A and B are shown apart, each in its own frame.
Chain A
Amino acid sequence: MATIKLENIGKTFPGVEALKNINEEIKSGEFFTLLGPSGCGKTTLLRTIAGFYHQDSGHIYIEDKLIDDVPAYDRNTGMVFQNYAVFPHMTVFENVAFGLKNRKMPNDEIKKRVAHVLEMARLTGYESRTPDQLSGGQQQRVGLARAMVIEPKVLLMDEPLSNLDAKLRVEMREEIRDIQRELGITTIYVTHDQEEALVISDRIAVMNAGVIHQVGTSWEIYKNPADVFVASFVGETNFLEGEIRGGGAEGVTIIVGKQAIRAKAPAEKLKGKNIRLSVRPEEITLVKNKSENPNSTVLEGKVIKNTFTGPLVRYLVDCGEGTHLVVETHKPEQGSLIEIGTTVFLNIPINSIQCFDPDSGERLR
């Protein structure tokens, strides 16, 4: 169980700056996720920690020990790969025992440890199978068992679930989370799936173009995004652009098209400037009429699209002047879908609106 410290990590591949000055500390026993779109540098960072790449600048510490010059085979990290990388010419037992044999462990001890870890991975009885006799999910469990049996200081997981089908993915992420909690092993997990990241992580680092945009708990990342990138990448949101007219500490008025929307933002600094607003579809509620309320804005609009997804109903509402808002609701108000063309009223609470600088993308608080 160990802490990991990343200090000013930089890495450039020909033509791409993959990592730009990464600084982060990962706590002992933490489940830490690197989340971002493909090419954002998350896998590069993971492979740098594993020792498959060497950073151009900066230092990596595991348990406060500098490991920059420690070769990959001596770093004592356990890695789980996207495409399993289970050795096809070895049985399940041999796969799991591989790392222990490299450590010259006595045979009795190897047998004991392999049996234990296979039980944890629900693979008891599969010892003498070869990988081609296993399903994708079972192969990935072998990969996980193989990485954990060596009792690594850190567990590194590179999109371990992305090759599995949707249902299995949900099951496996729970299993991974349970095993990780049980062992309390420091884990760095790479994924591009924001839902997976939100469900599984203690903390998430949202990355784009080689830079960490925000680090925080799932709640913080989703409810309190640091910038436009995080707001748009994690979850779904409505963006609106408008001009600040005035207001005070309790809220500012922002003119979007012909509508006025109230939100919380530093009014004095920004008066007369453009601003970008973000509001999540599930924060907007449908109300009966345009009754004003000090804590929210009510907009009038027409339904132009309605979608039933099972648990949710989604409406696309045209509020005029090109302002389109997506609204998500759990229970259809009238017991059925609202027809296209119907006039509706949208209630947007002041506290649900986040304001961003439209040029830099920074959050305005």
Chain B
Amino acid sequence: MKTNEVRTKKHIFGRFDIWTFVTIMGFVIVFIFLLLPLFNIFKTSFISKETGRFSLANYRTFFSKVYYTRAIMNSLIVAIGGTLGSIILGLPLAFFTVRFRIKGRAILSTLAVLSLLSPPFIGAYSWIIMLGQNGFLRRFFLTLGIQLPKIFGPGGIILVYSLQYYPFVFLLASGALSSVDRSLEEAAENLGTRGIRKFFKITLPLIIPSVSAGALIAFMMSLANFGVPMILGRNFHVLPTMAYNIFTSDIGGDVGLASTVSILLILVSTVVLFGQRYLATRRKYTSNLLNRPIVKSLKGWANAGAYFICYLIVAISTLPLAVVVVFSFRKTSGPVFHPGFGLQSYAKVIHDIPKTITNSLTYSITAVILIVIVGTLIGFILTRKSNAASKALDSFLMIPYIVPGTVMGIGFIEAFNHKPIYLTGTATIIIMSYFIRRLPYSVRSSASILKQIDPAMEEAAINLGSKPASTFRKITLPLMVPGIISGALMSWVTAINELSSSIVLYVGKTMTMPVRIYLSVLDGLFGTASALATFLLIATGIALYLVNRFVGLGRETIVG
């Protein structure tokens, strides 16, 4: 008995190794950079501006004015609109490219991913260039006697969201469609169900879980987006823009009310996320990877129709990016474009605001290095050292999925503008906001890579005399490298394109490219905005190319 007790004690002590340290570090990070900011927002939302005491005054103010409550409705309208649009564009594209022989499938899919990963606000202002009051497409159609609908307001926002987020539905639905067991559809045909009816009765129900997962991501992204409604909304406010406007108002920001709006925004996201989870767990189908569907060749009009639809969807979603690149090379003087081409916009950017470029690069690269190190280590404990503590950490790391960037920015300001941690106006605060928002994706991706590495591999190394730390270095890490690199590149793309929290956190000297683009658009400096946006697009394109080289642009890589 006694020897047993001694051994148990020794065992517990023996387990205090590097991984215990990693777990503790994980909790410290989550506590400081996630829970503390959110707790500050929560607390502030219940503090009255007048008395400084606990009260429901902020909530009362919010719910007593239609001006505020309408933002909830508006948010839901554009988010649902964006989601429906994503399904309408993404589902047919997935069906046609997976089930029918469409040439150039790889190009279509790469362009869709490129438009997905480019910053949405670039798409938004590109549509202003095309369809604004003086937009070239609008003028062109007017010469044909067609008056196009206006781009400002909910319609324009939904258009941009749909064209931005449809690749989520496309990627997830493609995966599901290509793994539906062929014999199920054949059985339906054998029983006399064909064509459209077969699609709606058999195929669609089978891929609903994947489509709804893609739709959920589109919804959450649309709900949280800040840049697009800010640029296209005019007087149409949604929750993130409302929170931002109240927080940074010229006539003295109302932190309490901004916090209240933030809490409501988190609440809406949470309800939707858990709603989808609940629905998704009730429908789960296992797929058979051996009996994949046949790719059919279409003929005649049907073939032309399928090609037309696929290429049209991708062309329209890529059009804004092309327009931006073209306009970055237009001759300008100040806000005015002149006929012909030139490099004035680039000269101006490099001469006037080189700092935003270096800022963006240093912040995003620093954040990615942190994300990769911490994400890989935490991913390891989640899969290999699973216990109550690591499970708790995993749950906490769900939080960033439901907290929009604007809210995170407000939380960071509230938490870190006083002692003991004073970070307002520093580069650190922006880097840490990138870090914490992207960390969960990196943790998930490194955990999923690890799940594919047989633990027997590590045991074999230990059995051959290699100690735990050297086993991790010689066996586990090398096997994880391709996954880690692609995860790092994806994180870098989102970090360098990030607007919604850096717009809250930046000061003059820490301005980043996305912030500068946004401000330039507000000032009507489309030339500068286009040149900077082209930089971002090139960066995104290079990252995508590298990801493709390392692991391929699969749906797991993009959706996470």
* Residues 448-480 (chain B) with a chain A CB within 8 angstroms: 454, 456-457, 459-468, 470, 475, 478-479
> B479 near A88 (CB under 8 angstroms)?
yes
Q: With the chains together, A167 CA to B457 CA distance in Å?
A: 26
Query: In chain B, what residue has the closest Cβ to A54?
Result: B11
Query: In chain A, what residue has the closest Cβ to B1?
Result: A57
B4 interface residue (CB < 8 Å to A): yes
CB of B157 to closest CB in A, whole Å: 48
> B467 near A73 (CB under 8 angstroms)?
yes
Query: In chain B, what residue has the closest Cβ to A75?
Result: B463
Knowing A81-B456, A83-B456, A85-B456 touch, does A98 contact B461 (C-beta < 8 A)?
yes
Knowing A83-B454, A88-B479, A89-B479 touch, does A77 contact B465 (C-beta < 8 A)?
no
- Greatest chain B CB density within 10 A among A52, A83, A87 is at A87
- Greatest chain B CB density within 10 A among A52, A73, A89, A147 is at A73
A279 interface residue (CB < 8 Å to B): no
Knowing A52-B459, A81-B459, A87-B475 touch, does A98 contact B464 (C-beta < 8 A)?
yes
Knowing A72-B462, A73-B462, A98-B461 touch, does A85 contact B467 (C-beta < 8 A)?
no
> A79 near B466 (CB under 8 angstroms)?
no
Residues of A within 8 A of B454 (CB): 83, 85
A110 interface residue (CB < 8 Å to B): no
- Greatest chain A CB density within 10 A among B4, B456, B478, B479 is at B456
Query: In chain B, what residue has the closest Cβ to A55?
Result: B7
How many A-B Cβ pairs are below 8 Å?
62
Residues of B within 8 A of A103 (CB): 465
Residues of A within 8 A of B4 (CB): 56-57
> B463 near A78 (CB under 8 angstroms)?
yes
> B456 near A74 (CB under 8 angstroms)?
no
A102 interface residue (CB < 8 Å to B): yes
> What 1/0 flags go to A77-95 for Cβ under 8 Å of B?
1110111010111000000
Knowing A57-B4, A87-B475, A88-B479 touch, does A81 contact B460 (C-beta < 8 A)?
yes
> B459 near A89 (CB under 8 angstroms)?
no
Q: With the chains together, A353 CA to B307 CA distance in Å?
A: 76
Knowing A54-B11, A57-B4 touch, does A85 contact B457 (C-beta < 8 A)?
yes
CB of A255 to closest CB in B, whole Å: 52
CB of B120 to closest CB in A, whole Å: 39
CB of A4 to closest CB in B, whole Å: 16
Query: In chain A, what residue has the closest Cβ to B466?
Result: A102
> A79 near B463 (CB under 8 angstroms)?
yes
Query: In chain B, what residue has the closest Cβ to A72?
Result: B462
Q: With the chains together, A98 CA to B475 CA distance in Å?
A: 11
A267 interface residue (CB < 8 Å to B): no
> A79 near B459 (CB under 8 angstroms)?
yes
Q: With the chains together, A150 CA to B462 CA distance in Å?
A: 13
Knowing A54-B11, A81-B456, A87-B475 touch, does A146 contact B462 (C-beta < 8 A)?
no
Instruction: Name A's B-contacting residues (CB within 8 A).
Output: 50, 52, 54, 56-57, 68, 72-79, 81-83, 85, 87-89, 98-99, 102-103, 143, 146-147, 150
Known interface pairs A50-B459, A56-B4, A57-B4; 17 further A-B residue pairs with C-beta atoms within 8 A, sorted by A's residue number: A73-B462, A73-B464, A73-B467, A74-B465, A76-B465, A82-B456, A83-B456, A85-B456, A87-B457, A87-B460, A87-B461, A99-B464, A102-B464, A102-B466, A102-B470, A147-B463, A147-B464
The 3 closest A-B pairs by CB, nearest first: A99-B464, A102-B465, A85-B456
**What are 6 A-B residue pairs whose CB atoms fall within 8 Å in the complex?**
A73-B466, A81-B460, A82-B456, A83-B454, A99-B464, A102-B465
